């Protein structure tokens, strides 16, 4: 821009984008695929509920904790090098998970797998941001963002199919894919420039502690209690004895750590030091307000994905594979958005893409809430998820483009790390809020419905507690017990009501994100992109 004609992207650049996007798809799939394979994992390894929970969540916690540090390492050592290192770690730990002889080894492998994922996500953003400009950048981020939405939806489908063979294939399949992605990255992406810089070790430690504990608190709040005092609590790795909830302690330590981290980064920047995150980036309007939108989008998008499969399986009776198949509609919508974004990128600014996407996401969720029931037709579910998926494809992709639009090239890794952390913390907050809302609604609504059906108060409370604690998985077996005969129908109705309410709340959060976009300003404009396209056409 500014009169400089940028050459159009080469086929090699697009192939490089394919490799980077595939790497992102890999780490997103590994978030959702584990939800589907947990039943055979529990049976095969003989693990309990606490270990099963840590198999799912250790990955998410280590992933979020390391994002800021990974972004700075990307600047210091080159985005491509750190991306490849992340792939290597991800592949090695996937192999460890695939051959894990017991729950402890599997939890450790998943925890270390998060290290690889943390290196892949922000460096993929930095690579896309550095490789594409003008109209092509909008198109590239459309592909990158649609990959996230599609991968999140395809994960359960893939998990359901692989679980029929062996749960170990859900991890083993990553190994050849990592090799292909690494080869594509080496062949089609040039080595990234490095910024000679020291890594702020103290700041890195504070960010890891702060983000890690904040993620733990958000994810585990419902399970362990938010602020109440506990007497004994098994956290898998160790037992928490008498004292405040570990979640409350985690929140407090995270707040102190992140406060100290911010003060240190601000002091280093003011004295000419080399901060892990240059806080002056937050003076950039599009970066600051774009990250606010990112958090809100993460809360609204990921919250519904956490509870939707429960309704499909336990209220509607879908199998794990059928649940994954239903979510393919979301992936299809995401891919449609990616295709539509290509011609629109020439004349429609990224901010408008985000707004269109948020409107469509909200509409899809409202539609889902309206049709949520115990006999919802598959085509109604598919339609609502397709509309929602189109919105995800527009909004998720281009909000990243907005956040990084005005970030200097030498700070691309830092900016990508912050944006990735905002996305992950938004998703963790969304899961915490929506699962708490969903299960609280399920418990109270079911108790009331059972009371109306003639169950004594104590029995209604007991059945409600069992259904809620099992996340609905005991519903199919309620009819087999004479003491709970007649409870299955009200349980399914309560679960449908929980999804309805969750859908409306997520839609409201995305409307709030839409309102937040009104505060975003970028220095780039659609007119400048059109001018660049005209110059390219004349030069051709």
| Shared domain check, 513 and 493 | yes
Residue 333: phi and psi, rounded to 5, are -60, -40
Structural domain contains residue 535: no
Dist. CA 241–CA 346, nearest whole Å? 60
Dist. CA 484–CA 236, nearest whole Å? 32
| Shared domain check, 221 and 186 | no
Q: Which of 147, 171, 195 is the last residue of a domain?
A: 195
Residue 14: which residues within 8 A CB-CB, separation 6 or more?
Answer: none
| Shared domain check, 184 and 55 | yes
| Shared domain check, 475 and 353 | yes
Structural domain contains residue 262: yes
| Shared domain check, 204 and 178 | no
| Shared domain check, 270 and 328 | no
| Shared domain check, 112 and 24 | yes
Q: Is 235 exposed, middle or buried (0-12, 13-18, 19+ CB in 10 A)?
A: middle
CATH number of 144's domain = 1.20.1250.20
| Shared domain check, 305 and 271 | no
User: Is residue 272 left, alpha or beta, with left meaning phi > 0 and alpha meaning psi from -120 to 50?
Assistant: left
| Shared domain check, 253 and 362 | no
Tokens of 258: 């992140």
Q: Which of 221, 244, 275 is the last residue of a domain?
A: 275
Residue 302: which residues within 8 A CB-CB, separation 6 or more?
Answer: 426, 427, 430, 431
For 196, the 3-state DSSP assignment is coil
What is the domain count for the chain?
3
Q: List the pLDDT tens digit at each of the 540 positions of the chain.
A: 444 445 677 888 888 888 888 888 888 888 777 767 776 787 788 876 567 767 877 888 888 788 878 877 887 788 899 999 999 999 999 999 999 998 889 989 998 998 999 899 888 878 887 787 767 777 777 777 767 766 766 776 777 677 777 889 889 989 999 999 999 999 988 877 666 667 777 888 888 888 888 878 877 776 676 666 554 555 555 555 556 778 888 888 989 998 998 888 888 877 777 777 777 888 888 888 888 888 888 888 777 877 888 888 888 988 767 777 787 788 788 778 767 766 665 567 778 888 999 999 999 999 999 999 999 998 999 999 999 988 888 887 778 778 877 777 777 777 777 887 788 778 777 877 887 888 888 888 988 888 888 888 788 888 888 888 777 778 887 776 766 778 888 889 999 999 999 999 999 999 999 998 888 876 654 333 333 443 444 444
| Shared domain check, 229 and 187 | no
Dist. CA 46–CA 243, nearest whole Å? 30
Domain that holds residue 398: 284-404+411-525
Dist. CA 522–CA 532, nearest whole Å? 17
pTM of the model: 0.76
| Shared domain check, 474 and 458 | yes
| Shared domain check, 187 and 214 | no
**Closest Cα partner for 338 from 200, 477, 141?**
141
Q: Which of 243, 275, 307 is the last residue of a domain?
A: 275
Structural domain contains residue 533: no
């Amino acid at each position: 821009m500014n009169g400089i004609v940028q050459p159009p992207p080469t086929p090699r650049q697009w192939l490089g984008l394919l490799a980077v996007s595939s790497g992102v798809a890999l780490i997103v799939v590994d978030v959702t695929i584990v939800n589907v394979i947990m039943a055979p994992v529990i049976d095969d390894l003989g693990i309990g509920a606490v270990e099963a929970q840590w198999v799912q969540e250790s990955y998410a916690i280590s992933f979020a904790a390391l994002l800021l540090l990974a972004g700075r390492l990307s600047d210091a050592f080159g985005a491509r090098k750190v991306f490849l290192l992340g792939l290597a770690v991800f592949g090695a730990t996937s192999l460890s998970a695939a051959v894990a002889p017991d729950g402890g080894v599997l939890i450790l492998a998943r925890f270390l797998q998060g290290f690889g994922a943390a290196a892949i996500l922000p460096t993929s953003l930095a690579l896309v941001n550095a490789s594409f400009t003008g109209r092509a950048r909008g198109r590239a981020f459309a592909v990158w963002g649609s990959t996230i939405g599609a991968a999140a939806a395809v994960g359960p489908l893939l998990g359901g199919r692989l679980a029929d063979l062996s749960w170990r294939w859900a991890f083993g399949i990553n190994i050849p894919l990592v090799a292909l992605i690494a080869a594509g990255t080496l062949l089609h992406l040039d080595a990234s420039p490095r910024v000679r810089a020291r890594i702020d070790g103290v700041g890195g430690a504070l960010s890891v502690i702060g983000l890690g504990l904040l993620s733990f608190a958000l994810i585990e709040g419902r399970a362990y209690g938010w602020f109440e005092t506990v007497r004994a609590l098994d956290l898998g790795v160790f037992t928490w004895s008498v004292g405040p909830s570990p979640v409350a302690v985690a929140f407090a330590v995270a707040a102190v750590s992140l406060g100290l981290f911010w003060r240190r980064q601000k002091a280093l920047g003011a004295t000419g030091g080399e901060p892990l995150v240059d806080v002056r980036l937050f003076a950039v309007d599009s970066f600051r307000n774009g990250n606010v939108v990112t958090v809100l989008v993460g809360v609204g998008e990921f919250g519904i994905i956490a509870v939707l499969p429960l309704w499909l399986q336990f209220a509607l009776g879908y199998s794990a594979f059928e649940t994954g198949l239903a979510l393919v509609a979301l992936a299809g919508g995401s891919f449609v958005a990616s295709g539509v974004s290509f011609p629109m990128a020439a004349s429609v600014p990224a901010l408008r893409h985000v707004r269109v996407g948020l409107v469509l996401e909200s509409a899809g969720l409202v539609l889902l809430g309206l049709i949520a029931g115990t006999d919802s037709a598959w085509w109604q579910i598919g339609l609502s998820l397709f509309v929602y998926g189109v919105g995800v494809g527009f909004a998720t992709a281009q909000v990243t483009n907005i956040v990084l639009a005005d970030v200097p090239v030498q700070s691309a890794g830092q900016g990508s790390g912050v944006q990735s952390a905002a996305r992950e913390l938004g998703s963790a907050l969304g899961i915490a809020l929506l699962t708490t809302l969903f299960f609280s609604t399920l418990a109270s609504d079911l108790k009331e419905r059972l009371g109306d059906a003639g169950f004594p108060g104590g029995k209604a409370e007991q059945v409600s507690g069992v259904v809620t604690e099992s996340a609905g998985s005991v519903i199919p077996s309620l009819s087999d017990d004479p003491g709970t005969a007649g409870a299955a129908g009200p349980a399914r109705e309560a679960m449908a009501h929980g999804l309805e309410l969750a859908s409306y709340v997520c839609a409201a959060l995305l409307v709030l994100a839409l309102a937040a976009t009104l505060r975003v300003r970028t220095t780039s404009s659609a007119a400048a992109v059109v001018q660049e396209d005209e110059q390219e056409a004349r030069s051709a």
